[in-house]
């Protein structure tokens, strides 16, 4: 079996830092540029950090759980890593592209793997107008915020906000409010994966709102556009029987 060239990245957590030299000693270490695959060690944050560096080269990332939350990670073991990577199932992720315009008219662009979210900046609730594919769907949503989540991100912040869990192959996006006050009973919507969502902030001077593509935040925004970035794909590797679509399905039956 051909030896894979691996690049290891570890989060700052002590468990991940302790594992890093052991893995490098056993399997070697090359740069991410020269690697056949990238191994992220830690929790889901380490996986997301590693994936964000893959937007241009789409190299596959295999995660090993040595952190807090490990939904996107495989079990940790020093043994048989090359064999596990060679046998791994692939999950293809399409990120979201956020274009946020602030109160000064400046545009900010960022990619999100999990979700694009808008959240109030002060004690004042946010007031938002939502347009989907050039058709106004909600003239005014009063809330703490709202998000557009990918299937990969549907089990993260979206689930905490009581949004739906989406299978990886569903070709859907979740539009989910955060603490909707008016209309109080609105629980969100399921959108086609190729939908274009435009969100306008009503009265941004009195009710300021921040927008974030995952953890990349822009404050004092007036408008956000969200759509899939079809020219960018990310690849995650999972041990057989523990692929991302299976994990998402199991999560729907958890209680």
DSSP 31-42: -TTT-SEEEEEE
DSSP 198-212: EEEESSTTTS-EEEE
* Residues in contact with 21: Cβ distance below 8 Å, sequence separation at least 6, in sequence order: none
* 137, 172, 201, 210 from 120: Cα distances, Å: 21, 26, 10, 6
Catalytic residue of the set 18, 36, 44, 220: 44
DSSP 21: H
Residue in 225, 203, 201, 205 with CA at minimum distance from that of residue 213: 225
In angstroms, rounded to a whole number, what is the distance separating the alpha carbons of residues 91 and 204? 39
Residue in 74, 23, 77, 26 with CA at minimum distance from that of residue 46: 74
* Residues in contact with 11: Cβ distance below 8 Å, sequence separation at least 6, in sequence order: 17, 41, 42, 43, 45, 46, 49, 66, 67
44 is annotated as an active-site residue? yes
In angstroms, rounded to a whole number, what is the distance separating the alpha carbons of residues 36 and 20? 18
Indicate which residues carry an active-site annotation: 44
């Amino acid at each position: 079996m051909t030896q894979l060239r691996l690049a290891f990245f570890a989060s700052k957590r002590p468990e991940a830092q302790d594992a890093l030299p052991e893995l490098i000693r056993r399997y070697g270490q090359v740069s991410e540029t020269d690697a056949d695959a990238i191994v992220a060690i830690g929790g889901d944050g380490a996986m997301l950090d590693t994936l964000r560096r893959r937007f241009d080269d789409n190299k596959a990332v295999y995660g090993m759980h040595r952190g807090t939350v490990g939904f996107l990670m495989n079990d940790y073991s020093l043994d048989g890593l090359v064999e596990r990577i060679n046998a791994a199932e692939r999950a293809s992720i399409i990120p979201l592209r956020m274009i946020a315009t602030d109160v000064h008219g400046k545009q900010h662009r960022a990619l999100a793997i999990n979700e694009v979210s808008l959240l109030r900046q002060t004690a004042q609730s946010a007031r938002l107008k939502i347009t989907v594919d050039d058709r106004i769907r909600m003239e005014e949503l009063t809330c703490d915020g709202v998000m557009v989540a990918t299937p990969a991100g549907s089990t993260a912040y979206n689930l905490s906000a009581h949004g739906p869990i989406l299978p990886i192959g569903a070709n859907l996006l979740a539009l989910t409010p955060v603490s909707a006050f008016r209309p109080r009973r609105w629980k969100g919507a399921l959108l086609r994966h190729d939908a274009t969502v435009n969100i306008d902030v009503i009265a941004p001077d009195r009710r300021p709102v921040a927008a974030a593509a995952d953890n990349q935040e822009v404050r004092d925004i007036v408008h956000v556009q969200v759509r899939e970035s079809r020219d960018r794909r990310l690849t995650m590797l999972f041990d057989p029987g523990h692929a991302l679509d299976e994990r998402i399905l199991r999560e729907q039956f958890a209680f």
